[in-house]
A and B are shown apart, each in its own frame.
Chain A
Amino acid sequence: MVGAAEEAQLNRLESQVDNGGGGVWEYLCLVRKLKARRSEKVLKHGLSILNDPKSRSRLGGDEWTLYEQVAIAAMDCQWLDVAKDCIATLSKKFTGSLRVGRLEAMLLEAKGAWADAEKAYARLLEDNPLDQAMHKRKVAMAKAQGNISAAVDFLNKYLEIFMADHDAWRELAEIYVSLQMYKQAAFCYEELILSQPTVPLYHLAYAEVLYTMGGLENLQAAKKYYASTINLTGGKNTRALYGVCLVRYPGYFTHGFSPS
Chain B
Amino acid sequence: MGAECRYEVAQAAYIKLVLHALKHRASPVGGLLVGRLFEDNASTVQIADAIPLTHSQIGLLPSLELALIQVEEHFGAEGFSVVGYYHANERYDDAELGNAAKKIGDHIFRYFPRAALLLLDNNRLEELLKGKERDLVVQLYTRDSSKSWHQAGSDGSSQLTMKGPSANVLLLDYISSEKWQNIVDFDDHLDDISKDWLNPNLFE
A interface with B by C-beta (< 8 Å): 4, 37, 144, 146, 174, 177-180, 182, 208-209, 211-212, 238-239, 242-243, 246, 250-251, 253-257, 259-260
In the complex, the answer to whether A246 meets B66 with C-beta atoms within 8 Å is: yes
Q: How many residues of B contact A (CB 8 A)?
A: 28
Residue from B28, B62, B191, B192 within 8 A of A211 (CB atoms): B62
Residues from chain A with a CB closer than 8 A to the CB of B62 are 208, 211-212, 239, 242-243, 246
Could you say which of B28, B60, B72 has the most chain A C-beta atoms within 10 Å of its C-beta? B60
Closest to B58 in A: A178
Residues from chain A with a CB closer than 8 A to the CB of B63 are 208, 239
Interface of chain B residues 108 through 151 with chain A (CB within 8 A): 110-111
Question: Is B190 among interface residues, defined by CB-CB distance under 8 A?
Answer: yes
Closest to B193 in A: A238
In the complex, the answer to whether B72 meets A254 with C-beta atoms within 8 Å is: yes
Q: Given the known A-B contacts A257-B65, A257-B107, are A146 and B59 also in contact in the complex, defined by CB atoms under 8 Å? A: no
CA distance A126 to B132 in the complex (A): 47
Q: Given the known A-B contacts A4-B192, A256-B111, are A212 and B68 also in contact in the complex, defined by CB atoms under 8 Å? A: no
Residues from chain A with a CB closer than 8 A to the CB of B99 are 179-180
Residues from chain B with a CB closer than 8 A to the CB of A144 are 91
CA distance A243 to B62 in the complex (A): 7
Question: Is B42 among interface residues, defined by CB-CB distance under 8 A?
Answer: no
Interface of chain B residues 58 through 108 with chain A (CB within 8 A): 58-63, 65-66, 68-69, 72, 91, 93-94, 98-100, 103, 107
Q: Given the known A-B contacts A238-B191, A242-B62, are A255 and B111 also in contact in the complex, defined by CB atoms under 8 Å? A: yes
CA distance A254 to B111 in the complex (A): 11
Question: Is B57 among interface residues, defined by CB-CB distance under 8 A?
Answer: yes
Question: Is B26 among interface residues, defined by CB-CB distance under 8 A?
Answer: yes
B interface with A by C-beta (< 8 Å): 26, 28, 57-63, 65-66, 68-69, 72, 91, 93-94, 98-100, 103, 107, 110-111, 190-193
In the complex, the answer to whether A174 meets B57 with C-beta atoms within 8 Å is: yes
In the complex, the answer to whether A178 meets B59 with C-beta atoms within 8 Å is: yes
In the complex, the answer to whether A242 meets B190 with C-beta atoms within 8 Å is: yes
Closest to A8 in B: B192
Ordered nearest first, which 3 A-B pairs have the shortest CB separation? A212-B61, A177-B59, A208-B60
Residues from chain A with a CB closer than 8 A to the CB of B65 are 246, 250-251, 253-254, 257, 259
CA distance A180 to B68 in the complex (A): 20
In the complex, the answer to whether A254 meets B69 with C-beta atoms within 8 Å is: yes
* Interface pairs (7), CB distance under 8 Å: A174-B57, A179-B59, A180-B59, A208-B63, A211-B61, A239-B63, A254-B69
Q: Given the known A-B contacts A174-B57, A212-B59, are A257 and B68 also in contact in the complex, defined by CB atoms under 8 Å? A: yes
CA distance A255 to B81 in the complex (A): 12
The minimal Cβ–Cβ distance linking A159 to chain B, given in whole angstroms, is 20
Residues from chain A with a CB closer than 8 A to the CB of B57 are 174, 177-178, 208
Residues from chain B with a CB closer than 8 A to the CB of A212 are 59-62
CA distance A253 to B70 in the complex (A): 10
In the complex, the answer to whether A146 meets B94 with C-beta atoms within 8 Å is: yes
CA distance A257 to B28 in the complex (A): 23
Residues from chain B with a CB closer than 8 A to the CB of A180 are 59, 99-100, 103
CA distance A197 to B184 in the complex (A): 32
CA distance A178 to B107 in the complex (A): 17
The minimal Cβ–Cβ distance linking B153 to chain A, given in whole angstroms, is 24
CA distance A230 to B17 in the complex (A): 33
Closest to A242 in B: B66
Residues from chain B with a CB closer than 8 A to the CB of A37 are 26
In the complex, the answer to whether A259 meets B111 with C-beta atoms within 8 Å is: no
CA distance A4 to B66 in the complex (A): 22
Closest to B110 in A: A256
